[in-house]
Amino acid sequence: MSDLQALETEITAAIEAAGDMAALEAVRVASLGKKGSVSALMKSLGGMSPDERKEMGPKLNGLKQTIGEAIAARTQGLRNAELEARLAEEKIDVTLPIRPESQGTIHPVSQVWDEVVQIFADLGFSVAEGPHIETDFYNFEALNIPPEHPARQEHDTFYFNPRDDGSRMVLRTHTSPVQIRTMETEEPPIRIIAPGRTYRCDSDQTHTPMFHQVEGLVIDETTHLGHLKWCLEEFCKAFFEVDEVKMRFRASHFPFTEPSMEIDIGCSWEGGQVKIGTGDDWLEILGSGMVHPKVISASGLDPEKYQGFAFGMGIDRIAMLKYGIPDLRAFFEADLRWLRHYGFSAFDVPELAGGLSR
């Protein structure tokens, strides 16, 4: 066997024997590296006679190539083996039972959000969404709240820094901008709810800077106040899981509805616990009204042809009422003891057929 063949056999054996990437790299350096055996032979070509060089040149290049290919193949082999080993190690048996120590819970806001969606889905509503960062147009202007309107003060708005054109984006102060966005993009009949986060610069036992609302909007050619009352009565009965619920519709004012009503539900207090549905006390739970014609035309629809109702309700607030949770701030403190106490099992998926909250 020639010296070259012996060298090739030796190096390819070393490549095959390399058990990991570091060992393989050592073989590469010892052969093809700057001071490696093959590189040294390549350098010796310079000192050969033209005839010798003509014979040895192709042989050495062939050797270099063979070794390069062997290293590439071994690299791939090692990588595959590494992946196989990792996959084998990371395999999980999905048929294993759930570990008893798993203690995650569904937050009451998520649970109530799902309950609300279930109830309105059953009434034929679909769910709409809008951005949390809004323009002045959607949050105020199109909702018939012009720049100097006092309602702007009541909203304790979080403003962003002015943009180049001087306008300022806001964190939406209510879910009502979704009314406009929906009417702009959908053809009536419209029947949507829009649950989501809202923001106001306010914090005490019943206010947090971020909270949740659910907007409702129905637009067609015939919907009237009677439909609004029926719809919300059905919602309250289903949500509080009672057969009868006493409701009071109180005249109120919102720039984007006319007429406007706030809705209270009857309740009683027994031993510090509130009982919903009956009793002589009242709890305010939502704002509502017939959508103002100006709002309908600001959204690009014809107010002569279309009409309907809208409402807005605090999700956190109805969660507190239904599940007897006293302090709103605790909702967002991520205290594990609180979450374990008020949270829901992931298996308690709200659905009407089986009883909403079982």
Q: Minimum distance from CB of 310 to ligand PHE (Å)?
A: 4
Q: Minimum distance from CB of 198 to ligand PHE (Å)?
A: 7
Which of the ranges 116-124, 271-279, 286-294, 332-340 carries the binding residues for ligand PHE, by CB under 6 A? 286-294
Nearest-angstrom CA–CA distance, 260 and 40: 93
If binding is defined by CB under 6 A, does position 174 make contact with ligand PHE?
yes
Q: What are the strands, taking DSSP E only, across 114-242?
A: 126-127, 133-134, 170-171, 190-199, 210-220
Which of the ranges 94-102, 234-242, 285-293, 295-303 carries the binding residues for ligand PHE, by CB under 6 A? 285-293
Q: Which amino acid is at 341?
A: H
If binding is defined by CB under 6 A, does position 312 make contact with ligand PHE?
yes
Are the beta carbons of 118 and 356 closer than 8 angstroms? yes
Q: Minimum distance from CB of 257 to ligand PHE (Å)?
A: 5
If binding is defined by CB under 6 A, does position 211 make contact with ligand PHE?
no
Are the beta carbons of 205 and 218 closer than 8 angstroms? no
Residue nearest ligand PHE (C-beta atom): 312
The secondary structure element, H or E, covering residue 87 is helix 50-89
Q: Which two tokens stand for residue 318?
A: 């109805």
Q: Minimum distance from CB of 144 to ligand PHE (Å)?
A: 11
**Span between the terminal Cα atoms of the chain, in Å:** 85
Nearest-angstrom CA–CA distance, 140 and 144: 7
Please provide residue 333's backbone torsions phi and psi, each rounded to the nearest 5 degrees: -95, -10
If binding is defined by CB under 6 A, does position 311 make contact with ligand PHE?
yes
Q: Minimum distance from CB of 150 to ligand PHE (Å)?
A: 14
Nearest-angstrom CA–CA distance, 314 and 30: 73
Which of the ranges 124-132, 163-171, 264-272, 281-289 carries the binding residues for ligand PHE, by CB under 6 A? 281-289
Beta-bridge partner residues of 273 = 270
If binding is defined by CB under 6 A, does position 287 make contact with ligand PHE?
yes
If binding is defined by CB under 6 A, does position 288 make contact with ligand PHE?
yes
If binding is defined by CB under 6 A, does position 177 make contact with ligand PHE?
no
Which of the ranges 163-171, 227-235, 284-292, 347-355 carries the binding residues for ligand PHE, by CB under 6 A? 284-292
Binding mask 315-354 for ligand PHE (x = CB under 6 A): ----------------------------------------
Contacts of 351 (CB under 8 A, 6+ apart): 118
Q: Which of residues 111 and 213 has its CB atom nearest to ligand PHE in the complex?
A: 213
Nearest-angstrom CA–CA distance, 283 and 299: 33
Residues near ligand PHE, by CB under 6 A? 174, 176, 254, 257, 287-289, 310-312
